[in-house]
Structure 1
Amino acid sequence: MLVTGIEILEKAHKEGYAVGAFNTSNLEITQAIVEAAEETRSPVIIQVSEGGLKYAGIEAISAIVRTLAEKATVPIALHLDHGTDFNTIMKCLRNGWTSVMIDASKFPLEENIQRTRKIVEIAHSMGVSVEAEIGKIGGTEDHITVDEREASMTDPEEALRFAKETGVDYLAIAIGTAHGPYKGEPKLDFERLKRIKELLNMPLVLHGASGVPEEAIKKAVSLGINKINIDTDVRQAFTARLRRLLEEDKEVYDPRKILGPCKEAMKEVIKQKMILFGSSLKA
């Protein structure tokens, strides 16, 4: 069933677990996400980045996700990940997205608030939930690159002001994660997370969670993270299975026999994440 993001995340916030938000850009990834959600009885957020929209086409990927979601028996939200372009966000709102992210974190706080509030007003009038970001998460996500020196942790007091003045539904915070593969083990600032949760008392989002140790994820969830973005781990599972399959069978040429096993590899990773985040059996 297709629902809004806040329907999924408000329940996670109240009951103390996190919901996986998995990026897609084609049919097989979307199938892997939905099948994993069904098999673990997990609510799930399927998200598409601006790069994913460019690759798949907004109408095509919308049709794929919404068709599978509407036939599913678990709650599913269709989310725009890292929306930086106003026109792109508007197109998503017109094409069935039930959740959008406005990422104006590169701007000064006042401008971030202004840009976010404008999207919140429009999206809420259409019954769509909104995510925003405060602080700067390092690494690369599609066309967005934040140098480690420019990355900055979220200030709890600024986060409180931001949430109050924008009316955003859930907030992505910077506590030490990064987009893309990690060179070393990330060190999360749990005290900062705890303080932000206490002040805001709302669903919080962790970006760049691929590669973060399981114990750190569990602790982050226990301290109030309710949405966890995963992309790199799923991509790596696909690529590893693809390489192995083509090496083992040099005669295979049917895309179904190639992509089918890759889909299963992605699904297993997604199921493991859902169990780790505590969303299994919550649908």
Structure 2
Amino acid sequence: MTSDKTELNDAELSRYSRQILLSDVDYDGQLTLTQSHAVIFGLGGLGSPAALYLASAGVGKLTLVDFDQVDDSNLQRQVIHREANIGQDKVASAKTNLQALNHHIEISTVATKLTEAELADLVAMADVVLDCTDNFESRFALNRQCRRHGVPLVSGAAIRWEGQLTTYDFRQAETPCYQCLYKEEQGQELTCSQNGVLAPVVGMVGSMQAIEAIKVLLTLPTLMGKLMIMDAHTMQFRTLNLPKDPDCKTCRD
């Protein structure tokens, strides 16, 4: 945990009262959330709802990482941004709107592309990392660093009407990793800019990423070892086993 906070004040008790009523959260769990640090990579379609719900749930420190700027085409699905934010760095836009939602939490931003060493340093400081990016290069880099530092990684993706979600809990030796699912040499990736995406689909996946991150912080069961696949067109969900690949280069290394 990244905070020395030892108790919740009266304002926090009132704000988070509905969450504290849950037996799996309770006072101690809410205190744990306020002491925790989540790093969100990507403040687009997935990162928007994930950041909003982690902020509203009271995760004490959020670090937002994105080097892109807000464009009008983003507003269809990236619900953390507003028309007034067009042209701003996404992390600056997101920070402003998150601070308006919850002044009790600390928010840091990174608006530049990180070197491998900078990425390693940032991941090492996190209690949980959320991969809300949209490209294989970033996903593989996050996978490597989270595994190296033993930091849980919540990974989501969405395109067209489809989404997928899993958690790689690198605190557990038996967890698979992202490269157990996809190989770096696998080929060209699909992008929303080329294939499209329905706005609420990224909202659903990003919200579920926030749930998985909260469960990680509270040491509750997650999707580790499983891959959840969503088809919003038919509203069907499947959960597949995702075993550790004995030939995975990342796991072997």
State the TM-score, normalizing by the size of structure 1. 0.29
Structure with a larger share of its residues in helix:
1
